Structure 1
């Protein structure tokens, strides 16, 4: 508790001014995302809030412009409380303005993956029935409903409303509370699920305080959000940045060279990303990452090799987080934890309950992780995460792949993640991904894609020979394919669709 109090004092949230502005925000803008911005712009109006492509916006300007945009959206688009507004956009300041403006209007916000196909988007709309879709201009495969581009040269857009002249008369916006923010889970697999989370502040107080203390976030003022904001991880980082009064550095698309240059030039202290992004940056230039004091990795399992590289080259700055779209952050592994248990996702946050539920017979045991906490979509009910996991004698958890990744090969249940873990232990393998494919003889088989370490030479036969002593016969891959690098989605995970295209 002492650590929380000290951290809150550093961010001014526990000061007399901070508490006063919090009460004022509830009365003036309501209990929603905009309240965070109201408090922050009062505490540090000239602090840079967003830095994008060399252009900076301070907190006072961000708040004023977001209020202006809310009024424009209400008048020109007739957006009202509890309307369902989808957003499909990359990381840029127009997206951030739109999020705060829609929250101010009390709209229910749905953050959608920009890589959704037309069919997937249509199916989601048939399920939700959006009132509006706000989208980047390159996204043209939209269902026949109201839509508003973030930017457009010839028609009304969010940017046009944002830069429009102020209204001649002051428009009074209704005070609203607890608007919902919904993220899409598994959006690129075709098996989407909407994770609706209430905007009630008390649901996020406990995880926020624990993150604040465990990651020493109150010490930092420059955060690079490398993951898409439409992903739960990115959205959580945006909220955290505003609460801290930090500068958010945004790039529309992640590219390792540009990311390293951005970090070095601005002496960025914190970055949120997924392991594949971290691996790309470390490979490109570890010297440009020396300003980082807190690397927050999540969204996918991390390898022991990558953990060791980061700890050896950058010091004890790496945190491995586990979270779900339904509950946000669930577990944290500190640098000290990772030094001893390199692949752990840590231990559950206080207030979060976990249990492992057997998925198969005792002879072939696999356990699915279930969670329960006040801040999840399930409330006080158990929620199946879809992740396979184990717990060691010291209480640390480890991921073992996804339940829905399992294939049946020759009558045996086979998990791609197990072969992937094994291959990552090979001294000549830098990175690897494994997928299941149809097979006439066995029903399904595994295919392994391997990125070799620099200057390493291996053949499929050598890899097969090495694997024979490491895995069971039914886990052996049908084929090994060597690639220069693994394709990556916008979220930063391995793009398995593109891997399948390499097989055709």
Structure 2
């Protein structure tokens, strides 16, 4: 970290009340815990020492204090040690958002094991390939994924974290191990095990991106632009196995705030839990935000949501119209985070940024830098000129577990996206570099057309892809999800696009779907659209 960034980070942490100059012992204790246990178990341990009786988690089964979370993971860690697991083992976690996930990731930190966070949308073959590559020796999973887990070798030890049908249980369960094992503190492991996040895998088998955080200073990369406060409540709907859900979990722990989870996302349940727990923050992916807003004004009005100061959206592109709808419903509380599995956070748009330029992903917070480069590796600095997006941050990874990495220029890592800056220095993402459509010699980025389509009052969701064309090389095809009871012909859609954009950006084909194919983190699966 550069000296200027270090000073800026200290200021941000002090402003967020995570660092008190009059209590250097607290800072040293935090640093020690994170260095020995890793950032997730370390942050939880610090919260348990400072605020033991504060509610740390509310999930489908009820509430747990920070002290109870600490004790539960102590017991699970001890049980795993008795089973022969220890530092150096790799433990896969295939769970939805609930206490079992937290128990597992905290216990991994306490024995020094590496946790691999597995996508709940995996097919059996994907799971088997990833587990073999990462060297998974044990797996913690929800019962519903038993058919998928069956693809793993018998040598992989299995632990059930969530049970739907008790009569069908023939594996050790996390709850049973916790209930029958001593829960006193363990000696710290020789080294923290770390966590492996997986890429989305939209172009093949997901890659493993190790995430090892050794200092609480990197929290400033989020807190610089997102005004979390201590001892509040945050509803995390985004999957915790994904970077945005996991990162906001550790921020919530660091703030000694209550994490509110729901095992399966439901828009009405989300609003009810925001109301019941007076949540100050909501963490979602765009498709979740859309489903909440689609409930309509009359349903939204049934729940008290005035406590919300932050709606943090990430995981896929937030369309301008969707962000504007959220502001109309909840007020100026939208924070649009842009990052990737490899670099974590790159930029964050604040409500002020969004009001000035809807659709922007904002500017880099302290500790992060973003530059645009052209195809020849030259810096793009002119407003509205497109370039490839490169980022560095304190959370940037060191390379995939398979040995390869991402392209870098002067220490900044490629995100694979193309974007531009406006005259205020706000960043806009125009799309993935490999999603660009070349039609009749003209370059078209789907995101621009998609954002326009979803702004139409009759269109709920839309995607644009390039399909082969004998004359133009590729032609644009739009896949449209209409609002209930809405009608819109292909000709009307084409005319609408031509009215606002260049004619070559209008789709020559239109197909209607009930919903677009997306992965569990909301990313559009373009390969399935043809």
TMscore range, shorter length: 0.7 to 0.9
| Closer, same or farther: CA 171–96 of 1 in aligned 2, 3 Å | closer
SS in 2 for 1:342: coil
Are 2:100 and 1:94 equivalent residues in the alignment?
yes
How far off is 1:495 after superposition?
5.3
2:293 alignment counterpart: 282
Distance in 2 separating the partners of 1:160 and 1:93 = 14
CA gap of 1:13–1:439, structure 2 versus 1, over 3 A, is farther
- The structure 2 residue matched to 1:128, chosen from 129, 134, 137, is 134
Cα deviation code 1:10-37 (max 9, x no counterpart): x88974773474377479x545532222
Cα distance change of structure 1 residues 159 and 411 upon mapping to structure 2, 3 Å threshold: farther
Post-superposition CA distance 1:29-77 (Å, at most 9, x none): 545532222211111111111111251111101101101100101111x
1:14–1:196 distance in 2 versus 1, CA, 3 Å: farther
Whose relative contact order is higher, 1 or 2, with alpha carbons under 8 Å and at least 6 apart? 2
Partner of 2:7: none
- Kindly indicate whether residue 382 of structure 2 is the aligned counterpart of residue 372 of structure 1: no
Q: Secondary structure at the residue paired with 1:71?
A: helix
Query: Does the 8 Å CA contact 2:476/2:508 hold for their aligned counterparts?
Result: yes
Asked if 1 retains the 8 angstrom alpha-carbon contact of 2:494 and 2:508, the reply is: no
1:290 to 1:360, Cα distance in 2 relative to 1, 3 A: farther
Match of 2:200 among 186, 190, 212: 186
Alignment partners' CA distance in 1, 2:71 and 2:89: 23
Give the structure 1 partner of residue 177 of structure 2. 161
Quote how far apart the aligned CAs of 1:220 are: 5.5
Secondary structure, aligned partner of 1:234 = helix
Q: Does 1:392 align with 2:422?
A: yes
The aligned residue for residue 82 of structure 2 is 75
Instruction: Give, in angstroms, the shift of residue 366 of structure 1.
Output: 4.6
Q: SS of the counterpart of 1:477?
A: coil
Counterpart residue number, 1:417: 447
Tell me the alpha carbon deviations over residues 304-340 of structure 1, each in whole angstroms, 9 at most, x when there is no partner. 2222222233222111111111121221111111111
2:240 aligned residue (215, 229, 249): 229
Q: Is the counterpart of residue 143 in structure 1 residue 163 in structure 2? A: no
Counterpart of 2:123 in structure 1 is 117
* Inter-partner Cα distance in structure 2 for 1:21 and 1:30: 12
What is the TM-score of this pair, normalised by structure 2? 0.83
Larger displacement relative to structure 2 (271-280 or 66-75): 271-280
Instruction: Check the 8 A contact 2:139/2:156 in 1, yes or no.
Output: yes
CA deviation profile, 1:216-246 (whole Å, cap 9, x unmatched): 2115511111000100111101111111111
Q: How many residues align?
A: 491
Moved more, 449-458 or 346-355: 449-458
**Matched residue, 1:205:** 217
Residue 330 (str. 1) matches residue 346 (str. 2)? yes
Instruction: Choose which of 509, 514, 522 in structure 2 pairs with 1:479.
Output: 509
Task: Note the C-alpha offset of 1:444.
Answer: 4.3
Q: Is the 8 A contact 2:198 2:206 kept in 1?
A: yes
Gapped runs of 5+ residues in structure 1?
Answer: none
Cα pair 2:92 2:136 within 8 Å, conserved: yes
> Which stretch shows the higher mean deviation, 211-220 or 324-333?
211-220
What are the superposed Cα offsets for residues 139-169 of structure 1, whole Å, 9 maximum, x if unpaired?
22333140413246222132332222439xx
CA gap 1:2/1:239 in 2 versus in 1, 3 angstroms: closer
Quote the residue 1:175 is aligned against. Answer: 189
- How far apart in 1 are the matches of 2:22 and 2:483? 50
Q: Displacement of 1:390 after TM fit?
A: 0.6
1:91-139 deviation digits (Å, cap 9, x = unpaired): 1101100000011111111112111223322332343222223222222
Contact 2:108 2:193 in 1 (8 A): no
Query: Could you tell me how far apart the structure 2 residues matched to 1:248 and 1:35 are?
Result: 16
Aligned with residue 491 of structure 2, among 455, 461, 467: 461
Shift of 1:303: 2.0
Match of 2:6 in 1: none
The secondary structure found in structure 2 opposite 1:417 is helix
1:422-442 superposed Cα distances (whole Å, 9 cap, x missing partner): 323434434322234455665
Q: Which consecutive unaligned segments of at least 5 residues does structure 2 have? A: 1-9, 164-168, 400-409
Structure 1 residue 360: Cα displacement: 9.1
Cα–Cα, structure 1 residues 325 and 119, in superposed 2: closer, same or farther, change >3 Å?
A: same
